[in-house]
């Protein structure tokens, strides 16, 4: 068995502390309950403390734990915002402060992956990285034929560290099941682990990117850079200049925000129909607006394969929810596995809980805003609000994990943009089952 990196061993120790801490809190809760404190009050207290420690530990970790933490943001709607906000802030700091590899190490990796004559493939290679992420960094270079390219190089040992982190995270299932009793955690964690391990395979990512680039070739609105060459730990693709979506979020005009938001949601929704793939990392750092006004998508390591497009049930249930038919929505969610057989829910309360997902589709043009999102999620994250308990009773089927991540993450980005977008028209065009004859 290969030796684990020291960092992975330290992270394992931190992970190991979580289940034991949860058991201690559960025992303390039992004592309070015997002492007269209500079961509901004790349960809420245990859940909040568990969430706080879970987010704190994951937020302190790098590599695979950081990537998992970002993907696990789908659970934030069931957690108090005061715990989730510091967690997200810590993850952002970790991602922004990833230390670059030195030039000599980069050269060694390029020689191993592209051959000892790797320099002959480039007219110029910039040793200073243009960007850094959790498992690799990007360098700007000029290919031998004069094309400007982006060279993504994976950190040495990233595969071992990520696998070790994910194996440790998999052991948190029991604790998280207690925090969210309606969720079947184990298969969901296994699905997320499998998808994140795929992100280590740059050959697979290159194939995903080629499929997207071919499907959007010549598009009047979208550009996807073509792959130049790929290896297991190095990916070379065309360089695309542009303004990051994060810059539009920070400084964009209202018109720029509306344009970026419309192109963003259109790209996410159109992928399954046009490519049979869903770009499953909605983070704004993966998107650009080019000087020509095109929407550019980058980083295709995380995708959901949907050869038949988005599930028909998704559009059908969204349309029925728009109509306010709570009973049909609940039955449809039960049929799709979102509500386990032993779970009882009030249909109207369920429909109210789903409002953050449904309300934008009720309008021809919807203006997303931080205030709107804050109001929605403060309601469903407040354990004193009846809607809070709904989140604890809803299951997330593994096959919907990445779809949910994109939907929820996409709404978050649109709210950061403060964009007004033609939601209904985009849903009608790209989501099967939403538009009826």
DSSP string, 50-113: HHHHHHHHHHT--HHHHHHHHHGGGGGGGS-HHHHHHHHHHHHHHHHTPPPPPHHHHHHHHHHH
Confirm if 65 and 58 have CB atoms less than 8 A apart. yes
Q: What is the pLDDT of residue 173?
A: 59
Q: What is the pLDDT of residue 132?
A: 74
Q: What is the pLDDT of residue 259?
A: 97
Paired tokens of 432:
């099967």
For residues 211 and 44, what is the distance between their CA atoms, to the nearest angstrom? 46
Confirm if 417 and 411 have CB atoms less than 8 A apart. no
Q: What is the pLDDT of residue 200?
A: 83
Tracing tokens 């592209």 back to the chain, one arrives at 114
Q: What is the pLDDT of residue 62?
A: 46
Q: What is the pLDDT of residue 195?
A: 72
Integer-rounded Cα Rg, in Å, for the chain is 23
Summarised one tens digit per residue, pLDDT across range 275-294 is 999 999 888 888 999 999 99
Burial of 341: CB neighbours in 10 Å, binned 0-12, 13-18, 19+: exposed
Question: In sequence order, what are the residues at sequence separation of 6 or more whose Cβ sits closer than 8 angstroms to the Cβ of residue 98?
Answer: 62, 132, 133, 134, 137
Summarised one tens digit per residue, pLDDT across range 32-67 is 434 455 554 554 554 455 545 554 554 444 455 555
For residues 69 and 90, what is the distance between their CA atoms, to the nearest angstrom? 10
Confirm if 245 and 413 have CB atoms less than 8 A apart. yes
Q: Which long-range contacts (CB under 8 A, 24 or more apart) does 19-23 make?
A: 19/171, 19/172, 19/174, 19/175, 21/53, 22/46, 22/50, 22/53, 22/175, 22/178
Q: What is the pLDDT of residue 395?
A: 86
Q: What is the pLDDT of residue 381?
A: 65
For residues 64 and 216, what is the distance between their CA atoms, to the nearest angstrom? 31
Q: What is the pLDDT of residue 252?
A: 95
Q: What is the pLDDT of residue 370?
A: 83
For the chain, residues with pLDDT lower than 50 are: 1-35, 40, 43, 46-47, 51, 55, 58-62, 70-81, 84, 87-88, 90-97
- Distance (Å) of CA 408 to CA 283, 357, 404: 11, 8, 6
SS3 338: coil
Which letter, b or e, does each residue of 264-293 get, where b requires 16 or more Cβ atoms within 10 Å of its Cβ? bbbbbbbbbbbbbbbbbbbbbebbbbeeee
Q: What is the pLDDT of residue 61?
A: 46
For residues 91 and 68, what is the distance between their CA atoms, to the nearest angstrom? 10
Cα-Cα-Cα-Cα dihedral of 22, 56, 179, 185, to 10°? -100
Paired tokens of 343:
């779970």
- Closest by alpha carbon to 279, among 410, 102, 378? 410
């Amino acid at each position: 068995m290969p030796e684990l990196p020291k960092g992975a061993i330290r992270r394992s120790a931190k992970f190991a502390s979580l289940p034991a801490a949860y058991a201690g809190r559960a025992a303390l809760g039992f004592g309070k309950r015997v002492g007269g404190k209500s079961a509901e009050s004790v349960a809420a207290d245990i859940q909040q403390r568990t969430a706080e420690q879970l987010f704190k530990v994951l937020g302190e970790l790098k590599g695979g734990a950081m990537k998992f933490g970002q993907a696990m943001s789908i659970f934030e709607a069931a957690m108090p915002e005061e715990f989730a906000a510091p967690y997200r802030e810590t993850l952002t700091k970790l991602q922004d402060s990833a230390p670059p590899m030195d030039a000599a190490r980069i050269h060694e990796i390029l020689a191993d992956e592209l051959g000892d004559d790797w320099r002959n493939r480039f007219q110029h290679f910039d040793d200073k990285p243009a960007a850094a992420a959790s498992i690799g960094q990007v360098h700007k270079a000029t290919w031998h034929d004069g094309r400007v390219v982006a060279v993504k190089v994976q950190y040495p040992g990233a595969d071992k560290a990520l696998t070790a982190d994910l194996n440790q995270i998999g052991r948190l299932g029991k604790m998280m099941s207690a925090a969210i009793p309606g969720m079947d955690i184990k298969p969901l964690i296994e699905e997320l682990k499998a998808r994140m391990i795929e992100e280590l395979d740059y050959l697979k990512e290159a194939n995903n990117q080629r499929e997207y680039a071919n499907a959007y070739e010549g598009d009047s609105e979208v550009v996807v850079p073509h792959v130049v060459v790929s290896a297991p730990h190095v990916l070379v693709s065309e360089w695309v200049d542009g303004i990051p979506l994060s810059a539009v979020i920070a400084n964009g005009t209202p018109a720029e925000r509306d344009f970026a938001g419309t192109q963003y949601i259109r790209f996410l929704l159109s992928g399954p129909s046009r490519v049979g793939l869903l770009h499953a990392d909605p983070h704004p750092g993966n998107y650009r607006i080019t000087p020509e006004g095109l929407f550019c998508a980058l980083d295709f390591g995380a995708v959901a394969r949907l050869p038949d497009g988005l599930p028909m049930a998704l559009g059908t249930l969204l349309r029925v929810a728009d109509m306010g038919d709570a009973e049909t929505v609940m039955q449809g969610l039960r049929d799709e596995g979102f509500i386990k057989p032993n779970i009882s829910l009030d249909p109207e309360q369920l429909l109210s809980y789903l409002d953050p997902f449904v309300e934008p589709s009720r309008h021809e043009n919807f203006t997303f805003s931080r205030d709107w999102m804050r109001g929605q999620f403060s309601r469903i994250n407040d354990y004193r609000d009846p809607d809070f308990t709904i989140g604890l009773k809803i299951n997330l089927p593994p096959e919907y994990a990445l779809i949910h991540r994109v939907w929820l993450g996409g709404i978050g980005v649109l709210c950061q943009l403060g964009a007004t977008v033609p939601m209904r028209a985009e849903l009608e065009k790209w989501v099967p089952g939403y538009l009826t004859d």
